[in-house]
Amino acid sequence: MKKTVIVIGGGMGGLFTGAFLSKEGFKVTILEKNATIGGGLQCFKRNGTSFETGMHILGGFQPGGTLNRICTYLGILDKLQMQFTDVDAMDSIIYGEDGRCYTLPGGKEAFTNYLKEQFPAEADGIQQYMDALYSLCEEIDLFNLRNGKGHLFAHNDLFFMPTDKFIARYVTNGRLRELLAYMSPMYGGVAGHTPVYIHAMINVLYINGSSQFIGGSQQLADCLADIIVSNGGQVISGDAVSHIEVCDRIVNRVITQSEKEYRADWYISDVHPDTLFSLTSDGAFPKSYVNRVRSIPNTYSAFSVYLKFKPETQPYVNHPCYYQANYETVWQLGNYDEANFPQGFMYITPPSHNQGPWAERMIVNCVMPFDPVRKWEHTTVGHRGADYKSWKERLMNKVIDILNTLHPGFRDSIEMVFASSPLTIRDYYGVKDGSLYGHQWDCENMIQSQMPIVTKVRNLLLTGQNVNLHGICGVPLTAIETAETIVGYGTIVEKISKIK
């Protein structure tokens, strides 16, 4: 008889964890509340055009990269349709203050040399910064898919330094400091709090090689589901778990909204901890544990604009573009003031099948806290009122106005446009306050901001972006840790490590 596992939530963390365990001989059942599996991998269609919801840019899929090796081990790499960003332009950052555009090439050496050319007086500091960045990543055993000391991090004195202070350690030029932190809004960065290992992992991941899915990120979710099903498991969508029955710190069963019940040897939660607590009865977890977890701040959310272009009106750009109003705002983009919105954003033209020189669509992400939409928090989709619709229209036009300044004629090229808010993310993903990156990491209080995989319920484990790391690399690495909690430490990493 196969050991059985029920995964509550079919997001990327749940699907990767389920895929790892199914390869290890477990019978896995995924229970997803939405009609479509995938969490941040989900895509949706509006008037026949497909849009990604969260996974816009990928790292680690180059030969020898972390995700390349993981997906090779799972047997799905050759099923994924991707294209790499331009080698000489992995990212570009435009500053509205002076119109300056920095176009960053991929690869450590090229990236480093470009920065030295732009800021020659900082050449020594740039080299030291880049070497330190890569050195920090080398210390993280799981990031390098090797067995180490039995926990995620082995670190030196710099490891938990705040990212902004780490950058300032090597660089004196204020504009260069801002430029080196340009990705921080895309990983929930907060000055004085986000530990530099987060910054190092994400930057190194993308500098080493970034790519995009052709035709959308849903394909990864579907491939992971196929692994689970082909090994005797099942993936059930559109039937949310409504109750988790816990007795004496053991899960006995889960019950869904359709009143079906499921039992297993192990249960894994891929939902936000606050959502998990709401599914259990009082007393399932110690009050002190619940209070501690609920006290962890969440990362900010986002306001997103989705555009479809008229044919042959906007060029396709094979890399993400970033906009910042000035050189002092990169760490303040998570704040909100409608008068000055937006101070910055990321925009991207995802590739389609048979992609030519013209873009079909664009996605714009502006980070935003939940507070601006709190007055509508008790409303539901389609019933939020005229004032909410008017607010979204105002913000959407502010974003388009900036894009029209950056790219004259942009507004005239739009065939269709609409927007989503932190409320959309909250309801779509089922996350507290629409948190885009899960819990906030705080180097001032690492014990509080770390979620252990093992819970106070003995056969219930956690996975997903609220545990350790988020994103296309962090979530699969956490999934390995969750799966190895059941199958034995080092079991899966040892197998993946043999893939070069």
Task: For the chain, list the domains and their CATH numbers.
Answer: 4-38+217-296+440-497 (3.50.50.60), 300-436 (no CATH)
- CA gap 38, 141 in Å, rounded: 27
What's the mean pLDDT in 292-309?
92
- CA gap 279, 244 in Å, rounded: 6
Q: Which helix (H) or strand (E) holds 176?
A: helix 174-180
Check whether 350 has a pLDDT greater than 80.
Answer: yes
- Per-residue pLDDT at 438: 82
Check whether 168 has a pLDDT greater than 80.
Answer: yes
150-179 burial, b at 16+ Cβ within 10 Å, e below that, comes to eebbeeeebbbbbbbebbeebbeeebbbbb
- CA gap 135, 154 in Å, rounded: 12
- Per-residue pLDDT at 149: 60
Q: What is the pLDDT of residues 106-164, one digit of tens each?
A: 999 999 999 999 999 999 999 999 999 999 999 888 899 998 764 545 567 788 899 99
- What is the residue-averaged pLDDT of the chain? 93
The three-class DSSP label of residue 302 is: strand
- Per-residue pLDDT at 150: 47
Q: How confident is the model at residue 498 (pLDDT cuts 50, 70, 90)?
A: confident
Q: Which helix (H) or strand (E) holds 364?
A: strand 361-368
CA distances from 321 to 6, 83, 452 (A): 40, 17, 35
Token digits for 88? 């000489």
Q: What is the pLDDT of residues 450-475, one digit of tens each?
A: 788 999 999 999 999 888 777 888 99
Q: What is the pLDDT of residues 232-256, one digit of tens each?
A: 999 999 999 999 999 999 999 999 9
Q: How confident is the model at residue 483 (pLDDT cuts 50, 70, 90)?
A: very high
What's the mean pLDDT in 161-173?
97
User: In sequence order, which residues have a C-beta less than 8 Å from that of residue 303 and are 6 or more positions away?
Assistant: 342, 365, 366, 368, 395, 419, 420, 421, 422
Q: What is the pLDDT of residues 42-65, one digit of tens each?
A: 888 898 888 988 888 999 999 999
Cα angle value 294/431/40 (rounded, 5°): 140
User: Percent of the chain scored above 70 by pLDDT?
Assistant: 97
- CA gap 463, 478 in Å, rounded: 6
Among candidate residues 452, 451, 479, 439, the one with its CA nearest the CA of residue 463: 479
**Max CA distance (Å), the chain:** 67
- CA gap 321, 347 in Å, rounded: 5
Check whether 448 has a pLDDT greater than 80.
Answer: no
- Per-residue pLDDT at 296: 85
The three-class DSSP label of residue 373 is: helix
Among candidate residues 89, 84, 88, the one with its CA nearest the CA of residue 67: 84
Terminal CA-to-CA distance of the chain, rounded, Å? Answer: 34
Rounded to two decimals, the pTM is 0.95
- CA gap 29, 235 in Å, rounded: 6
Token digits for 75? 């047997």
What's the mean pLDDT in 5-15?
97
Between these two residues, 200 and 151, which has the higher pLDDT value?
200
- Per-residue pLDDT at 152: 47
